[in-house]
Structure 1
Amino acid sequence: MNAPLSAPAVKQAPAPWDLVGRGYIAMLRFSPDSKVQDTFLPKTLLGKRGRSPYGWLMFVDYQSSDAGPYHELLFIPGSFPFEDGRRHLSISRIFVSTMDSVVNGRNNWGIPKELADFDVRYGDQGVDRVTLSRDGRVFAELEFKSYPFWIPFLTALIPKSLRTLGQHYDSKTFVYTPSARGWIKPARTMRARADAAMFPNLGRAKALMTVEVPRFRMTFPVSKIINRK
């Protein structure tokens, strides 16, 4: 059983959080017979994803948060039935750049964060490049390009059911609904590669749609927590 993480040097930052940053979101399509979306799922969610071929990849550069600034790369394989009787999207794999984010992300929302080193280079020959590594070994490489057309967005316009997430962690169910506002720009995923031992194999997917979020403010609320037997 996973116990809530704590460490003397880690800043404890209970929810809610207010975050400001930028990032990219890519909608991915996998082949119908692909098993990639099921990698890294907790055993309690295996076999419950349904038959959707879509998943979501997100890179986020949080310039400020209640746990300080950090980078983040995550994968959402689809939606799953949870103990509140509803289906929710769920994060199956996620890396962040600080231990403060790892510990508080797990404790506040049951998000299975792990630590990695990020190398982020904006505007490198017109492309934004993101590289993740551990112990000096690169395991993920991403390249994005965006276009100069800004559109405002507000998540309040999206039904709550479509932006609520659920997580299984430490024999508990965490359900939470982030909210955000900011700007988006059309973009393109130029490259997406990941070591399948560390992150879902992005080479097995096609990026159908990518947007850059050059500026946003987000709130992560207190989770609804349900104890599971």
Structure 2
Amino acid sequence: MNTQTPPAVIDAPAPWTLLGRGYICMFRAPAALLDDERFVEPSLRGRRGASRFCYMMFVDYSDSPVGPYHELLFIPGTFPFEDGKRHLSISRIFVSSLDSVVNGQRNWGIPKAVAQFDVRYGENGLDCVSVSLDGKTFAEMDFVSWPISLPFTTAMLPNSWITLGQHLDGKSYVYQPSAKGWVRPGSLKRSKFDPTVFPDLAQATSLLTVGVSKFNMTFHESTIRPVAK
């Protein structure tokens, strides 16, 4: 009988430096979508802040400690964490790399899962992204951005905007990425989601889309504590 040994996962502890491009979208969504228990860690359910603003990001990492990969994530709002503060928290996230999944969970408690990405830049004037599981597409997005680039750095932003928190496997992780690069005004022209796999943002109102044409980001080490009982 032939057996195959699964490939070893790269061990890539924090900090990470990553290069890439992507899109950031801001929405206003119904509370029922933001509080969908299928997409919130049990220890954080029912504890989201009152704001109905939420965020979706598509990221194309051209370089990272685990190699290039794609990413789609959703942030429903802020939650209380063991440092006594409220932080934005990623509740749903898919990446195209198992190495990214394992290390993202180890280093920052980010609940990553593997999916397949089809990314086509400049398709009929659009940047088209589709994401699937087991051959079934659950997310489709068509983005456009305009060639007016402005520099940005997270050093200009309040800490509360760039500090994130996660609960995973009984541990609380708080971390603060830093980044600099170039942004462009953009638009999410079309989107479609399978609500059983990813929050159905067709129910939400799109408020802002920014294209990030080039960035250099560092994911620093987390502060890790036991989740409060």
Q: Same fold (TM over 0.5)?
A: yes
| Unaligned 5+ runs, structure 1 | 1-6
Separation (CA, whole Å) in 2 of partners of 1:8 and 1:175 = 30
Equivalence map 1:33-182=2 (5 Å): 34-39=31-36, 40-182=39-181
Q: What corresponds to 2:212 in structure 1?
A: 213
Separation (CA, whole Å) in 1 of partners of 2:140 and 2:94 = 13
Q: What corresponds to 1:3 in structure 2?
A: none
- Segment of structure 1 superposing worse, 210-219 or 35-44: 35-44
Q: What corresponds to 1:9 in structure 2?
A: 8
1:161 CA displacement: 2.1
1:50 CA displacement: 2.1
The 4+ residue runs of structure 1 with deviation greater than 4 A are none
1:8 CA displacement: 5.7
Please tell me whether the aligned partners of residues 29 and 201 of structure 2 are also in contact (alpha carbons under 8 angstroms): no
1:206 CA displacement: 1.5
Please tell me whether the aligned partners of residues 145 and 210 of structure 2 are also in contact (alpha carbons under 8 angstroms): yes
Superposition TM-score, scaled by structure 2 size: 0.94
One-letter code aligned to 1:30 = A
- Segment of structure 1 superposing worse, 87-96 or 191-200: 191-200
Separation (CA, whole Å) in 1 of partners of 2:163 and 2:209 = 21
The SS at the match of 2:79 is strand
Q: What corresponds to 2:3 in structure 1?
A: none
Separation (CA, whole Å) in 1 of partners of 2:130 and 2:161 = 30
Q: What corresponds to 2:190 in structure 1?
A: 191
One-letter code aligned to 1:50 = G
- Segment of structure 1 superposing worse, 90-99 or 41-50: 41-50
Identity of aligned residues (%): 57
Separation (CA, whole Å) in 2 of partners of 1:53 and 1:160 = 20
The SS at the match of 1:35 is helix
